[in-house]
Structure 1
Amino acid sequence: MAVLHESAGYSLDCLANLYGETAEVIRSALLAEGVEVDAHPRPSPDPIAVTMERLYDLKLSIDRVGWLCGHSYGEARKILLNKGVQLRQRGRPLEREVDVARLVKPRKSGLSIEASGRELGIFRHTARKRLLNAGVPQRPKPTILVRPKTPLSASAVVDLHLQGYKNYHIGKLTGRSPSFVQRHLARAGLPARVKPDSLGIDTGTLVAVYQRVASSQATADVLHISAGAALARLWESGQDILDAPDPDAAPLHIPAQDPWQRRQQEIFARAAKGQRASEIAAELQVPVADVTAVMRIYQHRDRTTAEILYRRTQGESPGVIAIRMGLRLDRVNDVLAKYTSRPRRSTPLTKPPTQQRNRHAHRHHR
């Protein structure tokens, strides 16, 4: 963004459209990086060539550089060459030395070629080539695992993991339960090696969210999966069930654009231009009450508190609010407890004096 703003002369609105964010978000990001934000930036004397060179120096591909500057791959490559830029070789250089034995074991354990290569930090094509050279077929026969008569020690669990075996196979080979395997791998500081997630959920992110909210339902809501799927993946990763969030964990920020947030940003933008709530409601075809609720956040002296309360009215749980806003859960709970809980009465309610006198008179008459 800094290169496009300073060199190519992209305005904040143009960057906002390119990155799918608001102009204020772009402005804050640029200021955070020490960029002098200009309302009407001027491009450099040779904007295309200079911009492409600076973007290419940031390790962007020629395809990406060309797309950002509105040129095809061939045009971008020609401009860079004319500028005297030394082009990099396409793709990352392959590792000269690959531990083939270490590559073969996870493949025979059942991992895919891509996952086996990922264990050594190489691409699928390289892993496949080295496996074929080692005589390993593309679809190896499944290994018959024999459970030992006597369960093996925890050190055997760690050794098998380092050799590339998955957790399920480690349990079979050692005669241990899945919880035993996961627990001792966690104690050794080793990540769980489980079946690749078909949903594309990163296990590390899932565990990090759970440690900060201590709720599988909130974790599922943040990552847009079911609570059952979240629990299953937590179990596979060896994460213990928590009674409370980890107090030492730093806040985690995973933003997401919901439909109501886009509407909220539109209301913010119109309110900043001086439009009244009734005008905004009429143009956006939403109730005036919704517009005034959003404008309270814009006018509130503590925007964070106002947004927490607004998100709660939209049905978000405290854990989801904490992750979406990058706050600690206890801070969110404190705000909700302060502004949404009803005050407790120290003394019981009493009837009006006239009713009390009537009640005593009725008792006396009886």
Structure 2
Amino acid sequence: MTVCGSLDDVIIALHNAGLTASQISQVLGKKWGFAIERLGAAGIQGRTRVGVTGLDLAEMARAYQTVQSGRVVGEIFHASRDTVITRLKEYGQPVRSRGGKQLTTDYPDASPIRVALTPRPWERRHQQIVQRLLQGHSAQQIMNELAVSAYEVDQSIRAQRSRDPVVAEIALRAAHGESVSRIAVMMGIRVDRVAVQVAKIRKGQKASPGPRELCASR
């Protein structure tokens, strides 16, 4: 297939020929988001490819560009981390190694996303603590009724009474071992903003004595 004209004309022609955005970018030797960006500028919706598992790979790739965590993206799409990473690689989306550095590539669609992931046990306990707190129960009563530690009750009380609920929730989730990526998705905040705030929290913890973190497995 031979197409003459500007680069945008070539992209549109390839799109009309049935290629996905990732395939067009690959043909042109460009990054994954290039074709999506140019098609969007032309008012054209990029073609979505659905994988053999029924997962929307374009949406999965956009989610990964935002949080860069295969495990968290797996929670969003109800799939295992290995399935997510395999499908993203097949789709042409760059992925980082487990525990590796964040990808530095700029993506046009990497905006914050908010998804209500399945609550962890500690989140249910936190809701119960806050509910009893609002009913006028004392910290000791809450500890006895829910069989939770004084430290966990104190963390929930601090979060509930904080003047900055966003920072308080980040601190609470970090204290319970939540990853930066999961916090970002649960709260709909940019990953880099969460990372900066978590770093400040941990720096403050190092400067003060006492428990550092709650057990995330509880």
TM-score, normalization by structure 2: 0.65
- Distance change >3 Å, CA 311–CA 287, structure 1 → 2: same
Tell me what 2:158 maps to: 296
Deviation at 1:325, TM superposition (A): 0.6
CA displacement 1:190-246 (0-9 Å, x = unmatched): 334343425xx4334322221112333443354443322111222233334471374
Instruction: Classify the secondary structure of the residue corresponding to 1:252.
Output: coil
1:210 aligns to 2:64 (yes or no): yes
- Distance change >3 Å, CA 247–CA 182, structure 1 → 2: closer
Tell me what 1:286 maps to: 148
Say whether the 8 Å CA contact 2:129–2:153 is kept in structure 1. yes
- Which residues in structure 2 correspond to 1:1-366 (within 5 Å)? 158=15, 160-161=17-18, 183-184=26-27, 187=35, 189=39, 190-198=46-54, 201-241=55-95, 243-244=103-104, 246=106, 249-256=110-117, 257-341=119-203
- Distance change >3 Å, CA 334–CA 247, structure 1 → 2: farther
Alpha-carbon distance in 2 for matches of 1:317, 1:272: 29
Alpha-carbon distance in 1 for matches of 2:153, 2:24: 54
Alpha-carbon distance in 1 for matches of 2:73, 2:105: 12
Say whether the 8 Å CA contact 2:65–2:107 is kept in structure 1. no
CA displacement 1:110-148 (0-9 Å, x = unmatched): xxxxxxxxxxxxxxxxxxxxxxxxxxxxxxxxxxxxxxx
Runs of at least 5 residues in structure 1 that lack an aligned partner in the other structure: 1-151, 168-178, 345-366
Alpha-carbon distance in 1 for matches of 2:191, 2:113: 10
Alpha-carbon distance in 2 for matches of 1:245, 1:337: 22
Q: Read off the aligned partner of 1:299 and give its amino acid letter.
A: R
Deviation at 1:268, TM superposition (A): 1.0
Deviation at 1:276, TM superposition (A): 1.0
Deviation at 1:304, TM superposition (A): 1.4
Q: Read off the aligned partner of 1:279 and give its amino acid letter.
A: Q
CA displacement 1:30-81 (0-9 Å, x = unmatched): xxxxxxxxxxxxxxxxxxxxxxxxxxxxxxxxxxxxxxxxxxxxxxxxxxxx
- Distance change >3 Å, CA 229–CA 153, structure 1 → 2: farther
Alpha-carbon distance in 2 for matches of 1:195, 1:337: 37
Alpha-carbon distance in 2 for matches of 1:246, 1:181: 18
Say whether the 8 Å CA contact 1:214–1:243 is kept in structure 2. yes
Deviation at 1:318, TM superposition (A): 0.5
Say whether the 8 Å CA contact 2:170–2:197 is kept in structure 1. yes
Instruction: Classify the secondary structure of the residue corresponding to 2:124.
Output: helix
Alpha-carbon distance in 1 for matches of 2:204, 2:134: 33
Tell me what 1:39 maps to: none
Matched pairs, number? 177
Say whether the 8 Å CA contact 2:67–2:73 is kept in structure 1. yes
Say whether the 8 Å CA contact 1:213–1:245 is kept in structure 2. no
Instruction: Classify the secondary structure of the residue corresponding to 2:160.
Output: helix
Deviation at 1:261, TM superposition (A): 1.6
Considering Cα pairs closer than 8 Å and 6+ residues apart, tell me whether 1 or 2 has the greater RCO: 2
Runs of at least 5 residues in structure 2 that lack an aligned partner in the other structure: 4-9, 40-45, 96-101, 207-218
Alpha-carbon distance in 2 for matches of 1:343, 1:307: 16
Say whether the 8 Å CA contact 1:222–1:320 is kept in structure 2. no
Instruction: Classify the secondary structure of the residue corresponding to 1:341.
Output: helix
Deviation at 1:322, TM superposition (A): 0.4
TM-score, normalization by structure 1: 0.41
- Distance change >3 Å, CA 259–CA 182, structure 1 → 2: farther
Alpha-carbon distance in 2 for matches of 1:245, 1:274: 50
Alpha-carbon distance in 1 for matches of 2:106, 2:125: 34
